[in-house]
Amino acid sequence: MTVAPESTNLQLDQNGRLRHFLDINGLTRELLTGILDTAEGFAGLHERAVKKAPLLRGKTIINLFFEPSTRTRTTFELAAMRLSADVLNIDVQVSSTTKGESLLDTLRNLEAMHCDMFVVRHGSSGAAHFIARHVAPGVSVINGGDGRHAHPTQALLDMFTIRRYKGAFENLSVAIVGDISHSRVARSQIAALKLLGAREVRAVGPATLLPGALPQMGVNVYTDLDDGLRDVDVVIMLRLQRERMSGPVLPSSNEYFQVWGLTEERLARAHPEAIVMHPGPLNRGVEISSEVADSKRSVILEQVSFGIAVRMAVMSMVLGRGPEAQDAD
C-alpha cells in the first residue's frame, strides 16, 4: 500500500510545519525529534495540582472514530483536555452513517459546528488523507489509525518510550514480532525507526503474516522467534488481529502461543537490559505470557502514559501554526 506523493506533502504547510498529522512517511527526522522534544515538556504535567496547560483554550477538537477504540480515543481525549481544548467524541458506528449519510456529508455537518481539528480513526486505508484533502482551510486532521496503513501517533509514542529507556537510536536493534501484515502500527513503527536511524529493525513472525516488501524497507526478516530475538535491545510485540484476517493464515491461538508467544525463557535470548513493548490491547497467552507482560522489563503501561504527552505535542504543534506563523522568525 503506497501513499501517493501529493498526500505525503498534504501534512506540511509551505514552511514545513505540521498542518495535518497523517503518516510518518513524508516527515523529516528533525520534525519527528521536534515532536518528541515537545512531548518531553508535556510529560511532567500530570504531577501538578492543575494538570492542564492553556495552549488550546477555545479550540474545538472532534474525535471521529469509525472503528472501536478505548486506549487511543481516551488518550486523545485526555491530551486535548489537558491542553484546555473542548472535545467531542463521535462514534460513527452508531451514528448518521448507519442512516445512510456519506462521509463527506458527515464532515460538512461537523465543520458547520466550527471545529478546529478532527482526530480520525477508520477501517479503510487512506481515510484520514481523504478527509484532510476535503476539510476547510483552517481545519486540521490527525490520523488515529487508518486500515492497515498507518497509526503515526502510536509509532511516535513508541519512539518516545524507546528514547526514554534506551537513549539514542543509532545503537539500537529493535525486533517487531507477530502479525506484521495486518498491522498499521508496525508500518508506522518501521518508518519512524528508519527515519530516526535505528541500527537494525527486525520483523519477526510466521511467513504468512509478513508482508513481502519488508526487505525493500530495510528491515531484516526472521521467521524464527529465537533467532529474531537474539541480542535485541527492544522487543515490540504486536496483537494478533483476527478481525482483519481472512482465510486460514494461522493455526489456533494456543498453537500460535507455542511457536510465537513471548515467554521469559524466550526473552532471555534478547539483550539482558531489553525492554518489552506492546501497543495494546494485550492478548495474554496468545502473543505474550502474563509473566512477561507484568514483568519489570515490560513498559506497556508507560507507553500508555507517554501516549498522552506525545498526542499533546502533535496537537499543539498542528494547531499552534496560525496564519501569522508564516511571518514570524
Partner 1 sequence: MASDHTSTHDGTPVSDIDVSALLAGMAEELRSIIRTGQQEVAMVGIRTGGVWVAEQLHAALDLATSLGALNINFYRDDFTRIGMHPQVTPSVLPFEVEGRHIVLVDDVLYTGRTIRAALNELFDYGRPARVTLAALVERNGRDLPIQADVSGMRITLEAKQQIKLSGPTPLALALSTRL
> Taking contact as CB under 8 A, which single stretch among the options 29-37, 174-182, 279-287, 297-305 is the one that binds partner 1?
29-37
The reply on whether position 168 binds partner 1 by CB under 8 A is no
Given a contact cutoff of 8 angstroms between Cβ atoms, the answer to whether 232 and 202 are in contact is yes
For residue 54, count CB atoms less than 10 angstroms from its CB and return exposed for 0-12, middle for 13-18, buried for 19 or more. exposed
Cα angle vertex 128, ends 126, 129, to 5°? Answer: 65
Residue 213 sits at φ, ψ, to 5 deg, of -85, 0
The reply on whether position 52 binds partner 1 by CB under 8 A is yes
The reply on whether position 34 binds partner 1 by CB under 8 A is yes
> Taking contact as CB under 8 A, which single stretch among the options 47-55, 93-101, 163-171, 175-183 is the one that binds partner 1?
47-55
Given a contact cutoff of 8 angstroms between Cβ atoms, the answer to whether 157 and 303 are in contact is yes
The reply on whether position 12 binds partner 1 by CB under 8 A is no
The reply on whether position 50 binds partner 1 by CB under 8 A is yes
The reply on whether position 325 binds partner 1 by CB under 8 A is yes
Given a contact cutoff of 8 angstroms between Cβ atoms, the answer to whether 321 and 17 are in contact is yes
The reply on whether position 164 binds partner 1 by CB under 8 A is no
Task: Figure out which of the listed residues 2, 6, 14, 49 binds partner 1, where binding follows CB under 8 A.
Answer: 49
Least distance in angstroms from the C-beta of 87 to partner 1: 18
Q: Nine-digit cell at 71? A: 486506549
Least distance in angstroms from the C-beta of 202 to partner 1: 30
The region, left, alpha or beta by phi > 0 then psi within -120 to 50, assigned to residue 220 is: beta
Helices marked H in 135-199: 152-166, 184-195
Task: Figure out which of the listed residues 1, 29, 54, 265 binds partner 1, where binding follows CB under 8 A.
Answer: 54
The reply on whether position 88 binds partner 1 by CB under 8 A is no
> Taking contact as CB under 8 A, which single stretch among the options 167-175, 240-248, 282-290, 320-328 is the one that binds partner 1?
320-328
Q: How far apart are CA 257 and CA 286, in angstroms?
A: 5
Which positions from 261 to 280 touch partner 1 by CB under 8 A, shown as an x/- string? --------------------
Cα angle vertex 25, ends 72, 198, to 5°? Answer: 90
- Contact positions toward partner 1, by CB under 8 A? 17, 33-35, 37-38, 40-44, 48-50, 52-55, 313, 316-317, 319-322, 324-325, 328-329
